[in-house]
Structure 1
Amino acid sequence: MQTPHGHLTYCSNIHPGEKWHDHFSALRTSVPLIRQQLSPDAPFGLGVRIAGLASKDLHRDGGLSAFRDWLSENNTYVFTLNGFPYGGFHNTRVKQDVHAPDWIQPERRDYTIRLFRVLSQLLPDGLDGGVSTSPLSYRHWWQTETSRKEAVAVATHHILEVVVELLDIRRKTGQVLHLDIEPEPDGILENSIEFVDWFKDELLFRGVPYLIQKKGLSETEAEEALRTHVQVCYDVCHFAVEFEDPDVVLDRLEATGIGVGKIQISSALKVDFGNDVPEKVELLRRFDEPVYLHQVVAQSDATQLKFPDLDAALWNSTPSGEWRIHYHVPLFVDQYGLLKSTRDEIVRVLNRQKTQPFTRHLEVETYTWGVLPPESQLPIEESIVREMTWVKEQLL
C-alpha cells in the first residue's frame, strides 16, 4: 500500500507453494482477508515470492493473465518480487540450500530473467520494480580465496547478462527494473563493505566495458545503467546480525552512489550474556530448529566470532558478550523472556527513511512463523496484520 514514505507490503514467502497453482491458492485465501483489514479502500501492495517451478508455471496456460486479472479484481498491485529462495522453502530442510542454485549457475540467471519478465507484466504505470536475490553464493562452498574469486567473476558475468535483459525491457516499455542483491551472514557478500567493494571492483570494472561492447553505450551511460539496474536489498535483520550501524551503512551506500532497491523489514534475535547465562542458553535452544539457517555473530570487547548456525554456536562456544542470531522474529514483539530482538534497528532505519528517503519499496519479511516456539505462533493472517500495523505506526 502507498504510504507517505514509500510503498509498503509484506513478502508472500510466508505462504507455502513451490508450484504456482499452490502458491496462488494460498494468496487467494489470505490476501483478501489481510487487505480488508489494512487497506480496504485503497490499492494494496503485495510482494510476491515466486519459486523456480512457479516461475515456469506462470508462463504456461494463461497463468500470468489469470493472476493479473485477480490482482485487478482485488485492488492489489505487485511492485517487488522475492527471487532469493529458488527451491523448497516450507516443510523441508532449507539451510544453506536457500542459495542454490547460486549465481555461479546459469539456472539462477535464467530464473531471475523469468521473474523480471513476470514483473514487467504486473508492474503498475509510474512505478519502478525490483527483484531481490542472493548475495552471489554461500561463502562456505568455496574453500580457498582463489576459488571464491573465480566464483565471483562468473556470478558477476551472469548478473551482467540480467542487466542486458533489463535494458531491453526498459527500451521496450520504459520500465525501470532493478536487481536488489541481499547481503547476508555467510553469503559471499556478507555486509556493506563487501557489497560496496564488489560493486566498484567487480560489477563496474567488468560491467562498463561489457555494456559498451554489448549495447553500444558510452562509458557514462554504461555506469549509469549498472547503478540503475543493480542495487542493494537492505534486510534490516541481516545488517543487525553483522553489528552494522544503519546510518554508517546508508552513508556508505550514498557516498558511493549505490541505490537501495528495497528495505526488507525484519528483526533478529539478540542476547546479552552478562547474566543469567544458563537460562538464556536454554531459551535459545528452543529456537534451534532444522529448517532455516540461523547464523550467529558473537561480539565481545570489539572481537567477533561467527558461527554458521545456532546449534554450532550453542555446542561449540562458551556464551559471553552479545549474540545476534539470524532468525526473523515477529516485529511486534521485542522481548522473548530473557531474550530480546533487534527491533530498535528497524525503528532507526524507518526514521531515516522518513527524514532522508532512500528507497520507494518497503517489505515486511518474517517467514519463520511455522518454526517459532509455540507461544509465539498466531494465525497467519493475524500475524501479518499485526506486523504491518506496527510498521505503519512507525511511519507516522
Structure 2
Amino acid sequence: MRLHHPSGDRLHLSYCTNVHPAQDLDGIIAQFDTYAVPILERLGTDVLGLGLWLAAPVAAALAADPAPRRRLRRELDARGLEVVTLNGFPYRSFQDPVVKHAVYHPDWTTPERLAYTLDLARVLADLLPDDAARGSVSTLPLAWRDPWDAGMAGRAARNLDELAAGLAAVESGTGRTVRVAFEPEPGCVVETTEQAITHLADADHDRLGVCLDLAHLACAWERPADALRALRRAGLPVVKVQVSAALETAEPEALREYAEPRFLHQTRTAGGASADDLDEALDRRLPAPWRVHYHVPLHVAPSPPLAATTPLLREALAELAGGPEPLCDHFDVETYTWGVLPPALRPATPEQLAAGIADELAFARAELHHLGVKA
C-alpha cells in the first residue's frame, strides 16, 4: 500500500511473502491469486505491496534473463501488486519442516551470499514501480555468531565492499537505486543496533544500512528511541523496517505450546540471560520475564499470561514515522510463523491465511494513520 507522510514523503507498506513456500517462478505467481489478490480486495486498496521473497535459484534465473523478469512485472501489474523491497535473508527452503540454523547459510563470508544479493538487486531494479524512489533488499546480520573470527570478519568486509560496488553498477546500468539492509537478530554477529554500528562502520552508508525488525529489537530489550538515536549519530540509515511483534511473558511455562521444530526462537530475559531456542530456555528455567523471537500476528493479542511486544512496536513506529520527516519509507509486515502457531491459532486454509495477513496489514495501516500517515 502507498501511504503519505505529512512531510509529503511516500511510505510503502507491504507484507513479506516468505510466509509462502514457493521455490520457482510459476509457484510465486500462483501465490498472487491465492493470497495477494484476496488480501488486496479485503483491504479495499488499489495497490498492494509485496515484500517478495525469491529463493536463490529463481533469483539467479531471473537475474540472468530479462524475459522472465518482464513476465513477473506484467503479472504483478495486472493484479495491482507492486514490489519495492525483497527479503534476501532466507537463501532457500524457508518453509521446510526444519529450518533452524540453516537460515544463516550461506553467510556474508561466502561468495554465494554476495552473488544472491546482487541477483536480487538486479531483479528488483526491473520490478520497481516507475515512480518509486528506490528499492531495498534485507539480508542476514553477517552470520551466526559462532564461529566468527578475524579471518571471517575480513572476508565479510571484502564482500560488503563488492556488494556496494555491485549496487553502484546496478544503478549505473538501470538508473534505479537499490540499497541493502542488514537485519540485527538475536544470536548473530550483529544482534543489536550498537553491533550494527560497529560492524558496518566502514561500509558505504549510501548503499548499505539497517533493516530494523521490531520483534528483534524487542528481544534485544532495546528502546526504539535510543536505538534510532545511535543509528543517526553513526550516519547508518534505516533502509527498511520489518513490522513484527515478539512474545513476552513473566510466566514462561505458558510458552510450551509455542516450542516447535521449524524455526529458532531465541529467548532473552530482562536480566540478560539468553538461550538459542525456546525449548532450551524452558529446560534451563531462565529467570523471567522473557521475550521470545517468535513473530506473532500483529492484530491479535496472545492469551494471558502471554503478551506481544506491541507497545514497543507502537513506540518504534512513532519514532520512525511520527516526526516531521520519516526515518524510513519501506515498512514490511513479516509474520512468517503462521504455519507453526499452536493448532488453535493456525490458519487451516489459504483463505484463512489471506484473511489473517490482511488483518495484520489493516492493523499496521491504522497504527500509521494514528501518526498522521494517510492513504
Q: When the two structures are superposed, what TM-score results if normalisation uses the length of structure 2?
A: 0.91
Q: Are 1:290 and 2:261 an aligned pair?
A: yes
What corresponds to 2:309 in structure 1? Answer: 342
Q: Deviations over 1:145-198 (max 9, x none)?
A: xx5222121112112111111111222333221010001001111101111011
* SS of corresponding position for 1:86: coil
CA distance in 2, matches of 1:27, 1:60: 22
| 1:89 Cα offset (Å) | 1.0
Residue 392 of structure 1 deviates from its aligned partner by 0.9
Q: Distance in 2 between matches of 1:77 and 1:122?
A: 8
d(CA) in 1 for partners of 2:50, 2:266: 28
Aligned residues: 356
1:51 to 51, 55, 58: 55
Q: Which has the larger radius of gyration?
A: 1
Structure 1 residue 308 and structure 2 residue 276: aligned? Answer: yes
1:25 aligns with 30
Asked if the contact 1:267/1:328 (under 8 Å) is kept, the reply is yes
Q: Match for residue 357 of structure 2?
A: 384
Greater mean deviation of Cα atoms: 47-56 or 245-254: 47-56
Cα contact 1:20–1:53 (8 A) shared by 2: no
How much does 1:250 deviate?
0.5
- SS of the counterpart of 2:272? strand
State the Cα distance separating 1:39 from its structure 2 match. 4.2
Secondary structure in structure 2 of the residue aligned to 1:139? coil
Who is 1:214 aligned against?
none
Identity %: 34
Counterpart pick for 1:322 among 289, 293, 297: 289
TM (norm. structure 1) is: 0.87
The answer to which of 242-251 and 331-340 deviates more is 331-340
1:135 aligns with 2:148: no
Instruction: Output the CA distance in 1 between the equivalents of 2:291 and 2:214.
Output: 12
| SS, match of residue 235 in structure 2 | coil
Question: Per-residue deviation at 1:4?
Answer: 2.0
Please give the residue correspondences for 1:218-297 in structure 2 after superposition, counting only pairs within 5 Å.
Answer: 226-273=204-251, 280-281=252-253, 283-297=254-268
The residue correspondences of 1:352-371 to structure 2 (distance < 5 A) are 352-356=319-323, 357-371=326-340
Q: Give the Cα–Cα distance (whole angstroms) in 2 for the partners of residues 30 and 353 of structure 1.
A: 28
CA deviations on 1:345-366 (whole Å, 9 max, x unpaired) are 1111111223221001000000
CA distance in 2, matches of 1:148, 1:294: 25
Distance 2:96 2:234 in 1: 41
Shift of 1:333: 1.9
Q: 3-state DSSP class of the match of 1:304?
A: coil
- Provide runs of 4+ in structure 1 moved above 3 Å: 59-62
In 1, are the aligned partners of 2:267 and 2:277 still within 8 Å (CA)? yes
- How far did residue 61 of structure 1 move? 8.7
Q: Is residue 212–residue 238 contact of structure 2 (8 Å, CA) maintained in 1? A: yes
2:343 aligned residue = 374
Provide the C-alpha distance between the structure 2 equivalents of 1:133 and 1:364, rounded to a whole number of angstroms. 15
Alpha-carbon contact 1:272-1:322 (below 8 Å) kept:
yes
Please say if 1:9 is aligned against 2:14: yes
Determine the C-alpha separation between the residues in 1 that align with 2:291 and 2:216. Answer: 10
Structure 2's unaligned 5+ residue stretches are: 6-10, 370-375
Quote the residue 1:38 is aligned against: 43
CA distance in 2, matches of 1:189, 1:99: 12
> 8 Å contact 1:20–1:57 — kept in the other structure?
no
How far does the alpha carbon of each residue in 1:208-240 deviate from its partner, in whole angstroms, 9 at most, with x for none? xxxxxxxxxxxxxxxxxx111001000000010
- Asked whether the equivalents of residues 249 and 307 of structure 2 are also in contact (C-alpha less than 8 Å), the reply is yes
Q: Specify every segment of 5 or more residues in structure 1 that has no aligned partner in the other structure, as ranges.
A: 205-225, 274-279
- The answer to whether residue 113 in structure 2 is matched with residue 108 in structure 1 is yes
Greater relative contact order: 1 or 2 (C-alpha under 8 angstroms, separation 6 or more)?
2
Tell me which residue corresponds to 2:173: 172
**Alignment-mate amino acid for residue 22 of structure 1:** G
Aligned amino acid, residue 340 of structure 1: A
**CA contact under 8 A between 2:18 and 2:53: conserved in structure 1?**
yes
Output the CA distance in 2 between the equivalents of 1:39 and 1:80: 22
- After superposition, what is the alpha-carbon deviation per residue over 1:123-155, rounded to whole angstroms, capped at 9, x for unaligned? 123421000000011112x1xxxx522212111
CA distance in 2, matches of 1:45, 1:314: 38
- Aligned to 2:321, the other structure's residue is in SS state helix
- Secondary structure at the counterpart of residue 206 of structure 2: helix
Q: Is residue 19–residue 57 contact of structure 1 (8 Å, CA) maintained in 2?
A: no
Compared with structure 1, are the counterparts of its residues 187 and 395 closer, same or farther at alpha carbon in structure 2 (3 Å cutoff)? same
Whether contact under 8 Å (1:263, 1:359) holds in the other structure is: yes
1:324-355 alpha-carbon deviations (Å, 9 max, x no partner):
10000110123323111101111111112232
> What are the Cα deviations for residues 236-259 of structure 1, in whole angstroms up to 9, with x where unaligned?
000100000000000111111111
